[in-house]
Chain A
């Protein structure tokens, strides 16, 4: 399509092309069941997690090897997070939170491989993750506490006159949670990858290319950090929401 312009300047900018959802086989339309690059990279994510957490711990060694150490480190980190943030009674939900953390971490990290596809850069994916957390947390809140759960919105420590206003604000902030929860993750992933692509595009100009490659390296390093931190943030927010559901009193 725009080959003429590319040939004229030597530049090619397709920062968003990496996020395209494409069928793996052929060029047909993307139906809900079509195996796409989403399927492929989610499968790779699952395979990597299984390799770490299942294959890595196959030895069940008292003195762990490196892979088992990493698996135990991840387990210990999330387990401690759930226990510290959401309390001991939240450990029942630990497997689901661990699933979320491992899926997001591995999707983010695998998305940093060149030519890969970042599933967590899509709002459809993070939206489902966040909505699942939102709905399950709300259901848990009502099941565990009944109508007491609504006390979350009724700030008893505030003066009576302010409480209705605060209640409105609390309700709004409660329903904004899944939106911020999902857009934070997808936005971070998308922005970082797009920035890398833009810098990489400039590398075609000889005069700028050293700077461009340096910038790509720097942003890549930053993205590794962001990938982990966003997974961590998503998980810890899930724990915070879960705590609100289990202990709604302010």
Chain B
């Protein structure tokens, strides 16, 4: 490998020597080809002329169009980002306020609901109490009435029983062939019934 490279190098050297020889023979273009084109001063004015034009055009384009535009875009973006961040902060604040308001409303509603429940309960209790009282009164009235009727029934039944007993006693006495003394029967019935009825 190394020998190959060496060979190539020597042929290259020979080649440049040959080129230099032909260049020395005459052709001006060949001369610049063998040396460094960078040191060919005859092309300097050309390069400098075109470079100055290029830089001039480039500077004009950049300073007038490109750079202001990019600067504007970047500052716009910065502004947009700052604005968005501020808006986001504002929305966050609003959300917090809304949450607080919601919580407050919830608590208020709870208290209100509690109040309403208590009020309803009291009202219902009152109605209930009234209904119970009314029912008690009715029950008492009905009880009294029933007792009265019972007493009536009792007294009427006692009278009926005396009547029946007197009739039966009178009939019995008659059927035994006796003569029923009304007063004696009444007395006997009354004395017998004392203690049993009442």
Residues of A within 8 A of B (CB): 1-2, 5-6, 8-9, 11, 13-14, 16-17, 19-21, 29-34, 36, 38-39, 42-43, 45-46, 49-50, 53-54, 57, 60-62, 64, 68, 71-72, 75-76, 94-96, 98-99, 102-103, 119, 121-125, 128-129, 132, 186, 190, 201-202, 205, 207-208
Contacts and interface: CB of A to CB of B under 8 A. Distances in A.
B66 A57 contact: yes
Contacts of B43: 21, 30, 36, 38, 124
Contact of B38 (A60, A123, A202, A208): A123
Interface in B24-63: 27, 30, 32-40, 42-55, 57-59, 61-63
Nearest to B58: A99
Contact count band on B: 35 or more
Interface of B: 1, 4-5, 8, 11-12, 14-16, 18-19, 22, 27, 30, 32-40, 42-55, 57-59, 61-63, 65-67, 69-74, 76-77, 80
Contacts of A132: 55
B56 to A, nearest CB: 9
Nearest to B73: A60
Contact of B46 (A38, A54, A95, A99): A38
B26 to A, nearest CB: 11
B128 to A, nearest CB: 71
Contact of B70 (A1, A75, A123): A75
Contacts of A60: 69, 72-73, 76
Given A50-B61, A60-B72, A68-B73, 15 more contacts: A1-B19, A1-B22, A5-B11, A5-B18, A17-B33, A21-B37, A30-B42, A31-B46, A50-B66, A60-B76, A75-B70, A98-B62, A132-B55, A186-B38, A202-B5
Contacts of B51: 38, 42, 119, 124-125, 128-129
A202 B8 contact: yes
Given A36-B46, A38-B47, A99 B59 contact: yes
Contact of A2 (B8, B18, B67, B69): B18
Contacts of B58: 46, 49, 99, 102-103
A46 B65 CA distance: 14
A72 B80 CA distance: 17
Contacts of A50: 61, 66
B80 A62 contact: yes
